[in-house]
Amino acid sequence: MKEEDENRYRNVEMLLEREAEKILKHIKDGQYVVVFDIKGTQLSSEEFAELLNRKVSKGEEIVFVIGGSNGISDAIKKRANLLISFSKLTFPHQLFRVLVYEQIYRGFTIIKGIKYHK
Burial class (CB in 10 A: 0-12, 13-18, 19+), 63: middle
pLDDT at 55: 98
pLDDT, one tens digit per residue, over 31-63 is: 999 999 988 999 999 999 999 999 999 999 999
Binding residues: 67, 86-91
**14-62-30 Cα angle (round to 5):** 85
pLDDT, one tens digit per residue, over 68-106 is: 777 899 999 999 999 999 988 888 888 999 999 999 999
pLDDT at 61: 97
Q: Where are the domains of the chain?
A: 6-112
From CA 43, how far away is CA 16, in angstroms rounded? Answer: 26
Binding residues for S-adenosyl-L-methionine: 67, 86-91
**pTM of the model as a whole:** 0.86
CA-based torsion, 58, 44, 83, 72: positive or negative: negative
> What are residue 64's phi and psi, to 5 degrees?
-105, 130
Q: Which CATH superfamily is domain 6-112 in?
A: SPOUT methyltransferase, trefoil knot domain (3.40.1280.10)
